């Protein structure tokens, strides 16, 4: 909204300036010479500046859109990767049952603790069941 107000004020000022300067003027461009009203020179310069600034603004917005699209794609890829990692964590934290076939005994261990983490007393008190 402030952009629209600012643009309107500048346009009114340029229009008033152009209307007050209606005299003919000589315009030289390379090899050509023109006799045109000063109002046309002022308005033509204003419109050319507005066109150039609009093109620059559109280019900048296009760059932001492309960057935004790439960032959104990266976010989707990373969210999928997070979901996959959460699924792997869920699989790894399930209880694990091991079977010792050589001694015909079955040992039940909890996957949240590893044999390295267990103290010596806990290792001795593991539940051992004879296989029949």
Token pair of 41, please?
A: 């020179």
Please tell me the distance from the alpha carbon of residue 84 to that of residue 75, in angstroms, as a whole number: 14
Count of CB atoms situated within 10 Å of the CB of 17: 14
pLDDT value at 62 more than 80:
yes
Contacts of 128 (CB under 8 A, 6+ apart): 105, 106, 107
- The gap from C-alpha 7 to its chain's centroid, in whole angstroms, comes to 30
Least confident of 58-67, 72-81, 95-104: 95-104
Name the residue with higher pLDDT: 126 or 63. Answer: 63
Phi-psi region at 112: left, alpha or beta (left = phi > 0; alpha = psi -120 to 50): alpha
Compute the mean pLDDT over every residue in the chain, rounded to the nearest whole number: 77
């Amino acid at each position: 909204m402030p952009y629209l107000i600012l643009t309107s004020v500048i346009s009114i000022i340029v229009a008033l300036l152009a209307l007050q300067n209606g005299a003919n003027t000589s315009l030289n461009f390379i090899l050509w010479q023109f006799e045109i009203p000063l109002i046309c020179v002022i308005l033509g310069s204003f419109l050319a500046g507005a066109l150039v600034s609009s093109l620059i603004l559109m280019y900048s917005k296009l760059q932001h859109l492309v960057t935004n699209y790439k960032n959104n794609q990266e976010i989707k890829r990373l969210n999928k990767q997070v979901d996959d990692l959460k699924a792997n964590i869920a699989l790894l934290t399930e209880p694990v049952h091991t079977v010792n076939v050589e001694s015909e005994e079955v040992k039940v261990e909890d996957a949240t603790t590893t044999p390295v983490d267990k103290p010596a007393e806990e290792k001795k008190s593991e539940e051992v069941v004879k296989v029949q």
